[in-house]
Structure 1
C-alpha cells in the first residue's frame, strides 16, 4: 500500500489517499475494511485490465465512492513512480467511464474528467439552508453535490455548517465556493453522509466547479484553492464536454497490508 498526499508538493498538505495495486480483486467487505482501517478520505484499489487500463474502485471509511479525483491523482503518481506503467494512463470506473491522466512538463499530473457543470436551483431544500452558517448568494446542484455560492473568500473560510443537517441531504454532498483573492476561486467540501465531516481537497467536484467559474469569470483556465486546514491547489481548464484538473503529489509512506 502507498499513501500519497495529492494536490500538493508539500508533505502533510493536500489530501491523503491510500493506493493498493492488486493482482486480483479482494472482496467488497475486505476493501471496505481496509478503507475503514486507513481512515483516509479514500483508499483506491487498482487492477490492470487486458487492454492496459487500470480498473479503479474508491472506498471512503464509510462506503464505496462513485468518483474520486485525488485518489486517481495519487494512483497515477504511484504507477509512474514505481515504474508500473507509463503516461498517459487510463483509469476505468463503473460510474464515470475512462479517465485519462497525462504527465505535464512541470511534473503535475492532469486528469481528464467529464464536464459535470451544475444547474441553478430556485428552491433549494430547507435542510441545506438550515445547515449553512451563511445564506448563499446562489444554489446549484449536479449529480454529486449541492453548490452554495458566496460573495467572497472570507465567507467560505469562516463557514461553520451544521453537519447533522447536511447529512440529511444524502446521497448528495455539499460544496461551498466563492471568488478567490489570490486564486480564481476557492471552495470547501462537506460530506458527512459519505465519508466524513470535511474533505481536505476534492478533485472530483472541480469537474463541476471549474465549468461554473469558467463561465462566470469568462476564462477557460483557472487556478483553484480548496481552503481546508490542509489546503490544496488545483489547476483546471475547461474544453467543451471535458474538464482537465491537474495537481502535484508527494509520497508519505509505502508499506504492506496483512489480511
Structure 2
C-alpha cells in the first residue's frame, strides 16, 4: 500500500526551523500498530494521521516515536497547512477525544490559528513538588504549577531557561507528565522549553499544545490578552497566543519540507 506523506516545519516561516511533523492523510484508519511503526520510522516529534468524517470534520491522531499522544499542537498546525495547501476552505475542524474539537482558521497574514481548550495550570505547594522534578532541574524554579499534560517550572529570566541542562533520567520518572520551563522573554512576552523523556524524546523543538497552559498563566501574570511566545530549542519557534474564556488561540506559520510517498 502506498500513502502520501508530507513533512512540514511548524511554527516557523523558515525551513529547518520550528518543529517538523509528518502528516499522513488517510481515507480509512490504519491499524494502530502500523501507525506507530510509521511514526517510529519517521523519528520526528510526531506523525499525524487524519481521516475526513462524513460531517466534513477531520478525526486526527498523533504518534511520537514512543507512543500515541493525546494532544499535539504542531502536528495539528502542519495538518491544517497540508489541507489548506490542497484547497480546503477555512475554517478546518479537527477533533480528538482528549481535546474535543480544534477549529483552525487561516488568517489574512497567512498564519493559521488553532483554538484549544483552556488548560490553565494550578500552583503546586512546595511540599508537593516531586523529588524527580527538583532533582531533574539543576536550578530551582521560583514557582511550580501543573496541568493534565505537564509540570510547569517558572524561572526569573530567559537566561536561566536557556542555560538549563536537565537530568533527563530523573525527569522521565515523572511520566506520563512532561515538564515545561518558562520565564519572561527578553524580546517577546515569554519563553519556554519542553522536556518529555517519558513520552517522545529529551527536548521537543516547539510544542503547541503546552501553550494551552502557558498562555493562560502568562495572560494572568502580564495582564495582557495577546502574547508572543518563543520556544528556545535549538530550532526555535514563534507562537502567537490569546485567551478568550475557556479557549486558547495559538497561531503560527508553517513551511513544507517534503511531499512523498511511503510504502507500507
Deviation digits for residues 194-233 of structure 1 (CA, Å, limit 9, x no counterpart): 0000000000000000000000000000000000000000
Deviation digits for residues 134-169 of structure 1 (CA, Å, limit 9, x no counterpart): 100000000000000000000000000000000000
Check if 1:37 corresponds to 2:41. yes
Check if 1:107 corresponds to 2:110. yes
Check if 1:10 corresponds to 2:14. yes
1:78-89 correspondence runs (5 A): 78-83=82-87, 85-89=88-92
> SS of 1:102's equivalent?
strand
Q: Give every structure 1 segment of 4 or more consecutive aligned residues whose post-TM-superposition deviation is greater than 2 Å.
A: none
Q: How much does 1:73 deviate?
A: 0.2
1:122-141 correspondence runs (5 A): 122=125, 123-141=128-146
> SS of 1:101's equivalent?
strand
> SS of 2:59's equivalent?
strand
Q: How much does 1:86 deviate?
A: 1.1
Check if 1:245 corresponds to 2:245. no
CA distance in 2, matches of 1:213, 1:128: 22
Match of 1:190 among 185, 192, 195: 195
Counterpart of 1:145 in structure 2 is 150
Unaligned 5+ residue runs, structure 1? none
- RMSD value, Cα: 0.4
Counterpart of 2:71 in structure 1 is 67
Deviation digits for residues 99-148 of structure 1 (CA, Å, limit 9, x no counterpart): 00001110000000000000000021011010001100000000000000
Alignment coverage as a number of residue pairs: 258
CA distance in 1, matches of 2:196, 2:47: 16
CA distance in 2, matches of 1:166, 1:187: 16
CA distance in 2, matches of 1:133, 1:156: 11
